[in-house]
Amino acid sequence: MEEIKNFINGEFQNSSSGEYIDNINPATGELIGKIASSNSIDVQNAVEAANMAFTSWSALTLEQRIIWLDKIADALEAKKELVAQTESKDTGKPISLARRVDASRSISNFRFFAQFTSQQNPMEFEMEDAMNYVHRKPVGVVGLITPWNLPLYLLTWKIAPALVMGNTIIAKPSELTPLTANLFASILQDIDFPKGVFNIVHGLGPSAGQPILEHPKIKAISFTGGTQTGRIVAKTAAPLFKKLSLELGGKNATVILADADLHAAAKGAARAGFTNSGQVCLCGSRILVDASIAQQFTELFLTEVRGMKQGNPLNEATEIGSLISIQHLEKVESYVKLAKQEGGTILTGGNRPTISGLEGSKGAYLEPTVIGGLDINSRTATEEIFGPVVTLHIFENEEQAIEMTNSTEYGLAGSVWTTNLERGRKFSEQIETGIMWVNTWLHRDLRTPFGGVKNSGVGREGGQWSLSFFSEMTNICVKLD
Ligand code: NDP
């Protein structure tokens, strides 16, 4: 059984308490490992290591740090299949998805920030009698706190820009998915990455995460997770004037306008609704359809959803795996129950399926579920479920579609489907959200701003926004002779 230890100052170490948390494979219910359960003493040790390492890491030139990012990308690439297999085992996601999305993107996060940073021009502002030079400095020791749905993908999305700008890191992955962060640490050891620059403290949010928020020497917190936890993060870190980036929950709409290519829209809506069992913050969990095409779209959409292959995540053909845990499955099921109480009709799914080859095991599976007949303002249609459950709603005109799309407390992402690209763009401009896609979903250019409005977060990640978050800027104004 694998024992996952903290990674502090380049060494794997037991937690100071000596306590462990079980790590379960959610696709089978099997115990696969034990994770160090850390507390403020471990965070203190990690901060000391990160603080010591800061002097030499921040003194490297940008070019030297870029070389390190490329080295890390090469080393991850060499272990790409192992990363995918490990992520699939820890999360219950299909191996094909773990390869295509998690492992690939973890590598490209390093490649992207290496290249993007090398292309930045110095910021200079000329006046008649003076010259302004903007000098970027690292922030210092930074805390990275990440969720379980895209474990290494989201962690490396923060690690790469933090490192390249000269910061040192304390990371706390979700205790549900510690394996790929641990693998990443062993990869850093293999390439003799400088000790103390990257540290991991494993464990539960309140005991291992909270001390990161509170520690005075940790100067910035980049957090991705639920809105409720985001509130705790903001409440703790804001009075300490830490830099804060909050990437929080979502309840995103997929809007099908009357002139959409319905076959493409049905495929797109199914992908947006059920990728990673609906456990992506960007998933389109409320589908809004123009009344004139509602029946035709619904038939096509249900055919798509019923055709998705749910199964053992390790089978190459599997498109939908398990949820992250039995506890989360029960939460998602409570929403299916609530939907019925709220007057909804289950159009497909709603049950725990039997998974071929895993009969009798305790996997956390739920069929892809589509619910119709609910009020757009019902709890099921407005609260984040974060599972394979989507609701279908009908609108009469575009104004109503905009109003319905904006009628949640969240504002992370959304997509609109139309054959009129200008109409799609105008529609998108009226949506209260950080990201809109026209005729596509999860189509990412890493240079673009990523983040949410309303209860979906504060700040942006990606390209220059990540570089700015992980640096402090000093404007130097030089009076010319
Ligand atoms: P949580 O908010 O429960 O946890 C996120 C991280 O915060 C975990 O590492 C968790 O640790 C930690 N944490 C919990 N309490 C504290 C605390 N008091 N102090 C410091 N850290 C703490 O989110 P989930 O892991 O359940 O992830 C799902 C959520 O993430 C969804 O709401 C989803 O929308 C959101 N998300 C947002 C994204 C975005 O880019 N906007 C992307 C992906 C997901 P532990 O797990 O050990 O409790």
Site to substitute for ligand 1 among 24, 39, 101, 174, most atoms within 8 A of C-beta: 174
416 shares a domain with 429: yes
205 Cβ closer than 6 Å to some ligand 1 atom = yes
User: What are the phi and psi torsion angles at 470 (to 5°)?
Assistant: -90, 25
Give the 3-state secondary structure percentages of the chain, helix then strand then coil, rounded to 5. Answer: 40, 25, 35
Mutating to test ligand 1, I would choose from 207, 281, 412 the residue with most ligand atoms within 8 A of its C-beta, which is: 281
Nearest to 352 by CA among 373, 385, 322: 322
CA of 113 to the centre of ligand 1 (A): 24
Q: Which long-range contacts (CB under 8 A, 24 or more apart) does 181-186 make?
A: 181/151, 181/152, 181/155, 182/4, 182/5, 182/7, 183/79, 183/82, 183/83, 183/86, 183/152, 184/76, 184/106, 184/152, 184/155, 184/156, 185/7, 185/12, 186/12
Looking at the structure, do residues 108 and 238 belong to the same domain, yes or no?
Answer: yes
Nearest-5° angle of CA 96, CA 101, CA 103?
90
> DSSP of 401-469, one letter per residue?
HHHHHT-SSEES-EEEE-S-HHHHHHHHHTS-SS--EES-SS---TTS-B--EETTEES-BSHHHHHHH
* pLDDT of res. 174: 98
Residue ranges making up the domain that contains 102: 2-248+456-479
Structurally, the chain folds into a number of domains equal to 2
Same domain for 244 and 259, yes or no, is: no
CA angle 411/373/339 to nearest 5° reads 70
Same domain, 239 and 312: no
Q: Is the CB of 180 under 6 A from ligand 1?
A: no
CATH of the domain at 360: 3.40.309.10
Q: Would you write out the chain's pLDDT as a tens digit for each of its 481 residues?
A: 889 999 999 999 999 999 999 999 999 999 999 999 999 999 999 999 999 999 999 999 999 999 999 999 999 999 999 999 999 999 999 999 999 999 999 999 999 999 999 999 999 999 999 999 999 999 999 999 999 999 999 999 999 999 999 999 999 999 999 999 999 999 999 999 999 999 999 999 999 999 999 999 999 999 999 999 999 999 999 999 999 999 999 999 999 999 999 999 999 999 999 999 999 999 999 999 999 999 999 999 999 999 999 999 999 999 999 999 999 999 999 999 999 999 999 999 999 999 999 998 899 999 999 999 999 999 999 999 999 999 999 999 999 999 999 999 999 999 999 999 999 999 999 999 999 999 999 999 999 999 999 999 999 999 999 999 999 999 999 999 8
Q: In this structure, which amino acid lies at residue 205?
A: G
- 415 shares its domain with 460: no
What's the confidence (pLDDT) of residue 312? 97
CA distance 76 to 432: 37
Contact (Cβ atoms closer than 8 angstroms) between residue 427 and residue 416: yes
Task: Give me ligand 1 centre to Cα 479, in Å.
Answer: 48
Write down the pLDDT at residue 2.
Answer: 86
Which pLDDT belongs to residue 1? 80
Strands 345-348 and 369-372: antiparallel
Task: Give yes or no: residues 199 and 276 share one domain.
Answer: no
E strands along 270-343, which residues? 284-290
Give domain status of residue 451, yes or no. Answer: no
- pLDDT at site 190: 98
- Do the domain assignments include residue 92? yes
DSSP character at residue 32: E
145 and 222 share one domain: yes
Same domain assignment for residues 276 and 308: yes
Number of other CB atoms surrounding residue 149 within 10 Å: 24
What beta strand segments (E) does 174-216 contain? 198-200
First to last CA, the chain: 70
374 and 460 in a single domain? The answer is no
DSSP 136-154: EEE--EEEEE--SSSHHHH
Residue recorded with tokens 């053909």: 317
> φ and ψ at 361, to 5 degrees?
-85, 170
Closest C-alpha to ligand 1, atom 38: 281
Please enumerate in sequence order all residues whose Cβ is within 8 A of that of 284, keeping only pairs 6 or more positions apart, or say none.
252, 253, 254, 269, 272, 273, 390, 413, 414, 415, 441
Angle formed at CA 429 by CA 440 and CA 263, multiple of 5 degrees: 25
CATH, residue 16? 3.40.605.10
Q: What is the pLDDT of residue 360?
A: 86
Predicted structure pTM score: 0.98
Tell me what pLDDT residue 104 has: 98
What's the CA-to-centroid distance between 230 and ligand 1, angstroms? 8
pLDDT at site 299: 98
Which amino acid, one-letter code, is at 335?
A: Y
Which of the listed residues 23, 145, 408 should we mutate to test ligand 1's pocket, taking the one with most ligand atoms within 8 A of CB? 145
Domain match, 199 and 310 both: no
Evaluate whether residue 450 is within a structural domain.
no
Half-sphere exposure of 404 (CA within 13 A, CB side): 26
The CB of 147 under 6 Å from ligand 1? The reply is: yes
Return the amino acid letter for 286.
Answer: R
**Closest ligand 1 atom, residue 281 Cα:** 34
Q: Please check whether residue 286 lies inside any domain of the structure.
A: yes
The pLDDT assigned to 341 comes to 98
Is 260 within the bounds of a domain?
A: yes
Of 81, 73, 58, residue with least CA distance to 116 = 73
Whether residues 386 and 426 share a domain: the answer is yes
Catalytic residue set:
247, 281
User: Do 48 and 164 have their domain in common?
Assistant: yes
Residue 257: CB within 6 Å of ligand 1? no
Q: Output the residue whose Cα is nearest ligand 1's atom 23.
A: 225
Return the residue whose CA atom lies nearest to atom 20 of ligand 1.
209
Torsions phi, psi of 418, nearest 5?
A: -160, 150
